[in-house]
């Protein structure tokens, strides 16, 4: 019980400590202090509003947990799955858009659809037009379930001095305690705290960096623009974004070291999760000191863009990295993603997962079943076995298991990448390296 109490105190402290005064020193450099007033307006406002944002989020997360219990209770009573329950209720409550509405949206966005016909994009348009009405209908339906299952809220989720055993709600006699709530809510709460921290840290670093460029340029008798040109622009050879970022990083590092920069802004303690690698496709030694897990959707453009960047960084660390791919198809917006995930798993069964997903990422506009089978032939898979596995849905449950695990880890978009159980928030080579370096130091 003492450990639980300590855990709760830690949570409450991390939330309350975010409220800082405008004159509190966040960084020092060259005998100069930097405070909240030196941040960009957006960063400053986000930092100041964090306590209120956390409070609202906690209320919302409790509402979500209540909705989950209600939907599961009703699904159990009807002896169907939650997915089928929601689908049936939405079909009953929300009429389909008219053909005229579908065509109007297609015509208005014809340039975005490219060469695709109305028939090809009709499922996506239909899903888009139904999304908002279904959300409203679901909220109304959940409200009716609250009455049916007698939801009671004896304690405020934002009340001070909550104990782990305090009951936040009862649903037909079933309780959600503060402890249960916190365990489920902490991934999202941490995500919110980190998003604000990173925004503030980024603004702070840019402010300090800019100040030191002026200081260094002045010491050399140069204008700031001329100093930057000398140290960055004039040193570029291929003029790529990556080259410029590396030169800027090197200059920033030199200036920070020379002028003894110290950041006093406290980072939220890393939220480390035990991310299961299950039996999913992997590269690298099982006992490597760093495990990188990527939840991916093979129809997701961001995943296709991130994949080569991540692979290039991982290659720099050799056998220190184990890389694992888990499935998280966003089926509501990518109609071929679930089938593509099954196809990739079928390729994995024949030992060619990574060769196969390279084709998926490069051909995201062609992930229909015929194309998925054609890709199998291109990498010389046993087509008879592959087709049987894909057509029979052999790996459907495997993909669903990954999706369920992802949700339990707070995954709600793709790609989501974890390094030794800590989510990497920014999808960039620099962030990947930083996350790996931190993991290697522990």
pLDDT digits (tens, 9 = 90+) for 284-326: 999 999 999 999 999 999 999 999 999 999 999 999 999 999 9
* pLDDT at residue number 269: 85
Contact of 192 with 251, CB cutoff 8 Å: no
pLDDT in tens, 269-284: 888 999 999 889 999 9
* pLDDT at residue number 50: 94
Architecture in CATH for domain 282-441: 3-Layer(aba) Sandwich (3.40)
CA dist 254 and 54 (Å) reads: 37
Residues in Cβ contact with 280 at an 8 Å cutoff, skipping those fewer than 6 apart: 324, 325, 326, 327, 402
Q: Three-class SS of residue 426? A: coil
CA dist 272 and 269 (Å) reads: 9
pLDDT in tens, 84-93: 999 999 999 9
pLDDT band at 21 (very low <50, low <70, confident <90, very high): low
pLDDT in tens, 193-238: 989 998 999 999 999 999 999 999 999 999 999 999 999 999 999 9
Mean per-residue pLDDT over the chain, rounded: 92
Domain with CATH 3.40.30.10 in the chain: 282-441
CA dist 360 and 308 (Å) reads: 13
Q: Of the candidates 381, 315, 373, which has an alpha carbon nearest to the alpha carbon of residue 348?
A: 381
Contact of 235 with 416, CB cutoff 8 Å: no
Q: What share of the chain has pLDDT > 90, as a percent?
A: 82
Contact of 227 with 220, CB cutoff 8 Å: yes
* pLDDT at residue number 7: 35
DSSP state, 282? E
Q: Of the candidates 272, 68, 262, 97, which has an alpha carbon nearest to the alpha carbon of residue 176?
A: 68
In degrees and rounded to multiples of 5, residue 257 shows phi and psi of -70, -45
Residues in Cβ contact with 286 at an 8 Å cutoff, skipping those fewer than 6 apart: 322
CA dist 2 and 423 (Å) reads: 28
* pLDDT at residue number 270: 83
CA dist 239 and 244 (Å) reads: 7
Q: What is the DSSP string of 236-278?
A: -SS--HHHHHHHHHHHHHHHHHHTT-EE-PPPPPP-------T
Residue 177 bridge partners (DSSP): 167
pLDDT band at 245 (very low <50, low <70, confident <90, very high): confident
User: CA separation (Å) from 19 to 9, 36, 224, 377?
Assistant: 16, 11, 35, 59
pLDDT band at 364 (very low <50, low <70, confident <90, very high): very high
* pLDDT higher than 60, residue 31: yes
Interior CA angle at 215 toward 214 and 220, to 5°?
A: 95
* pLDDT higher than 80, residue 425: yes
Q: What is the mean pLDDT of residues 397-405?
A: 95
Q: What share of the chain has pLDDT > 70, as a percent?
A: 95
pLDDT band at 23 (very low <50, low <70, confident <90, very high): confident
* pLDDT at residue number 20: 54
* pLDDT higher than 80, residue 66: yes
DSSP state, 260? T
Sort strands 290-296 and 321-327 into parallel, antiparallel or unpaired. parallel
Residue 424 bridge partners (DSSP): 417
């Amino acid at each position: 019980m003492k450990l639980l109490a300590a855990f709760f105190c830690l949570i409450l402290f991390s939330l309350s400590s975010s409220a800082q005064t405008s004159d509190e020193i966040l960084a020092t450099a060259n005998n100069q202090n930097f405070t909240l007033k030196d941040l960009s307006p957006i960063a400053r406002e986000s930092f100041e509003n964090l306590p209120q944002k956390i409070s609202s989020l906690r209320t919302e997360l409790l509402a979500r947990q209540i909705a989950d219990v209600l939907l599961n209770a009703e699904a159990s009573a009807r002896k169907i799955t939650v997915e089928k329950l929601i689908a049936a209720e939405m079909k009953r409550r929300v009429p389909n858009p008219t053909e005229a509405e579908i065509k109007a949206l297609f015509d208005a966005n014809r340039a975005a659809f490219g060469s695709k016909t109305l028939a090809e994009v009709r499922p996506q348009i239909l899903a888009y037009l139904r999304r908002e009405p279904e959300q409203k209908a679901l909220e109304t339906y959940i409200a009716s379930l609250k009455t049916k299952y007698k939801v009671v809220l004896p304690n405020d989720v934002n009340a001070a001095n909550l104990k782990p055993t305090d009951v936040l709600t009862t649903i037909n006699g079933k309780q959600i305690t503060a402890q249960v709530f916190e365990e489920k809510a902490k991934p999202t709460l941490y995500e919110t705290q980190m998003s604000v921290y990173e925004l503030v840290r980024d603004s702070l670093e840019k402010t300090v960096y800019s100040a030191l460029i002026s200081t260094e340029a002045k010491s050399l008798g140069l204008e700031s623009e001329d100093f930057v040109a000398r140290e960055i622009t004039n040193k570029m050879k291929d003029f790529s974004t990556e080259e410029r970022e590396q030169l800027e990083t090197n200059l920033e590092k030199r200036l920070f070291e020379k002028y003894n920069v110290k950041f006093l802004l406290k980072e939220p303690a890393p939220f480390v999760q035990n991310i299961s690698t299950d039996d999913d496709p992997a590269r690298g030694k099982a006992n490597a000191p760093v495990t990188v897990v990527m939840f991916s959707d093979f129809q997701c453009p961001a995943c296709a863009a991130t994949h080569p960047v991540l692979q290039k960084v991982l290659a720099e660390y050799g056998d220190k990295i184990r890389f694992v791919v888990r499935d998280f198809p966003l089926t509501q917006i990518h109609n071929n993603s679930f089938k593509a995930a099954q196809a990739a798993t079928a390729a994995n069964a024949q030992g060619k997962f990574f060769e196969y997903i390279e084709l998926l990422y490069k051909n995201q506009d062609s992930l229909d079943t015929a194309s998925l089978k054609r890709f199998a032939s291109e990498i010389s898979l046993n087509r008879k076995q592959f087709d049987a596995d894909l057509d029979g849905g052999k790996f459907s449950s495997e993909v669903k298991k990954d999706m369920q695990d992802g949700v339990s880890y707070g995954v709600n978009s793709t790609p989501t990448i974890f390094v030794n159980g800590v989510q990497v928030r920014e999808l960039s080579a620099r962030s990947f390296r930083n996350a790996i370096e931190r993991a290697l130091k522990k």
